[in-house]
Amino acid sequence: MAVCSLRAMQPDLARMSISFPAVSTQPVSTQFVDVAGRRVLVRFAGCGPAVLLLHQSPQNSRALIPWIERLSTRYAVFAPDTPGFGYSDPLPLAQPTIPDYAAALNALLDALGIERVIVNGVHTGAVTALRFALDFPARVGGLICDGYARFNADERQLLLNGYLPPFEPQWDGSHLLWLWARLREQHLFFPWNTPTKSARMAYPAPSTQKLNGDALDILDAGDGYRAGYRAPFLYDDATAASRLTVATRIFYRAEDVLATHLPRLQSLPANVTAEIVNGGPQGLIDKTDAFIALRAANASSVDAAVAIRTAVSTRRRVCNTTHGAMCALIAANGGDLASSLVVVHLSDIGTPARIPVDVPHGTPVIAPELPGHGASQVWSAEALTPIAVAQSVLEVLQALGVTRFAVSGDGAADAIAAALAQISAVTPAGPRCEQMRLHNPMLLNDAEREQFLAQLPDLTPHATGAHLLAAWNWARMKALFWPWQQPTIAAARKVDAPAPVRVHTEVVEILRAGEMFAPLWRAALTETAFTAMIDFAGPITVQCDDEPERVRIVNALAKTLGLVEATLSAGKQSTGIRSWQKP
């Protein structure tokens, strides 16, 4: 196969370094919607004719924010994370096909109550967009394909052989450095795993920030990125474009690596036009805008926010708060948010939000994601105090209709839990905290606090990817040594090494938090973090793992709060957890 043909196959590189001209924009919102039992994250904004944007793999809809901002000044714009990418649940199939992804789009529009849209897909997203127009033409008022790939059999086989190896956590974190190198090579060679002179491409070296963003996209998707990425490589429909019945524009920017695929589009009908677009990013914008304006009358006119509300998820929700958007996991668990005593569980900094498994049936659970964690927004540094975060959690509870709650926390999040109980007591007509349960609180003295903070990883993106390994080493070592002590023999924890999957899960959350990670820790470890508990009138339970260092810390807190350790009943065996309560 000719080298030029190999280069033309690369589906993602041409889009990677585009910067679009500054234009008037609208703010973009994010929300989860329920679609056929799956949670789908959608970015959206605007009112008017509906426009659906489809990102390329292995990215997510975050890459389309500039397009959403710009188009939403005139249209209602929706950009979902493709199933299995970003925060959207994967399709329940071992290897979904392009028709499966097209059907998922149809289900999304059903859930949103939108009849017809203008669809704009980028590269791998263009393949899905075109198939959607083939299978559901009545729902498409116009189709735009920004770089439509038409791989031949040899090219597809080459891509399927070794291009998408498994991405599995290793005990030493080496998979993270592999990921960084693999993404860098993708800018230099195609295929990336064939670093030969004939495969060398004429692209500029990617910036460190660009590589970091690409790495986070794959970390969000995990090993599941291979299924969605592989689908267009498996797709073999040479006549798909020629069978389109909707008005279509297939654009190839002159510098696009897929531009050589244009001659492969044979016997196109009159309603389909394929062309090379000159003029760089602005040339593409002009062509896209003109076609959307031409076809706008053929799309349903909607308010994007109203459409999203019709299908908003009952299991994961993004709520706007004073300090920024905050996301929360929700489990009704057979109860009612408005009338039941709801458990609000706060996970430790740098760990994913989770629904506790020990909550009895009939008790709903809400697990907020801390700022910069999960789908919660990145906040300003001054908004990262326990009181500020707790205020936003309280606003989330109000938005969800909660009236009564019991708060539980893990690790450093215990400080936020204490603050939440405090502000709920002084917020008129707001949800009331009736119980508090803390696990492994971190009440450190000055020396311990400074030692802990000094060991936090430097998450500033580094050209070598060293920040990824720094996050890994910190997450693993804090499980093996008490992180508020010097890593000496005395600080060693006699425990099994944490499983690589567990460390990886924490590292992904740490890297998501990025620049917010250290400020959150510094604020949570302040001396006054637990003073609010002294005046709390409801039941308080403080628990810790049965390790001497944990017990030392909780004993100090229990003395301050007047808590008494619970004793085991006769004949009961220890669970490895010790507990203190109000007498």
- Span 266-284, pLDDT tens digits: 899 999 999 999 998 999 9
Q: Are residues 346 and 299 in the same domain?
A: no
User: What is the residue range of 169's domain?
Assistant: 3-309
- In a shared domain, residues 303 and 376: no
Average confidence (pLDDT) over 260-266: 93
Q: Are residues 466 and 487 in the same domain?
A: yes
Answer for the pair 75, 69: CB distance below 8 angstroms, yes or no. no
Q: Kindly compute the dihedral angle of the four CA atoms of residues 321, 322, 326, 330, in this order, to the nearest 10 degrees.
A: -40
The verdict on 7 and 90 lying in the same domain is yes
Do 380 and 420 fall into the same domain? yes
Shared domain check, 562 and 470: no
The mean pLDDT value for 129-148 works out to 98
Question: Which band of pLDDT confidence, cut at 50, 70 and 90, is reported for residue 138?
Answer: very high
Q: Taking residues 346-357, what's their average pLDDT?
A: 96
Q: What is the pLDDT of residues 382-418, one digit of tens each?
A: 889 999 999 999 999 999 999 999 999 999 999 999 9
Between 19-23, 540-544, 573-577, the lowest mean confidence (pLDDT) is in 19-23
Query: Do 455 and 440 belong to one domain?
Result: no
In 10 A of CB 373, how many CB atoms? 25
Residues 548 and 478 both lie in one domain: no
Query: How many structural domains does the chain have?
Result: 3
Is the pLDDT score of 22 beyond 80? no
One-letter amino acid of 5: S
pLDDT band at 13 (very low <50, low <70, confident <90, very high): very low
Domain boundary residue, one of 249, 277, 309? 309
204-223 confidence digits (pLDDT tens): 899 999 999 999 999 999 99
For residues 340 and 281, membership in a common domain is answered with no
Average pLDDT of every residue of the chain: 92
Local structure of 18: helix, strand or coil: coil
Write down the pLDDT at residue 573. Answer: 61
Q: Which residue, of 294, 309, 324, is where some domain finishes?
A: 309
Q: Give the model's confidence band at 574: pLDDT under 50 very low, under 70 low, under 90 confident, else very high.
A: low
Q: Given the DSSP bridges, would you call strands 577-581 and 564-565 parallel, antiparallel or unpaired?
A: antiparallel
Residues 159 and 296 reside in one and the same domain: yes
Rounded mean pLDDT, 488-512: 95
DSSP state of 20: P
What is the rounded average pLDDT of the residues 88-92? 96
Give 198's pLDDT tier (boundaries 50, 70, 90): confident
Task: Tell me the pLDDT tens digit for each residue of 173-183.
Answer: 999 999 999 99
Residue 334: CATH number of its domain: 3.40.50.1820
- Taking the C-alpha atoms of residue 478 and residue 348, their distance in angstroms, rounded to an integer, is 13
In this structure, are 305 and 396 located in the same domain? Answer: no
Structure tokens at 144: 């735009």
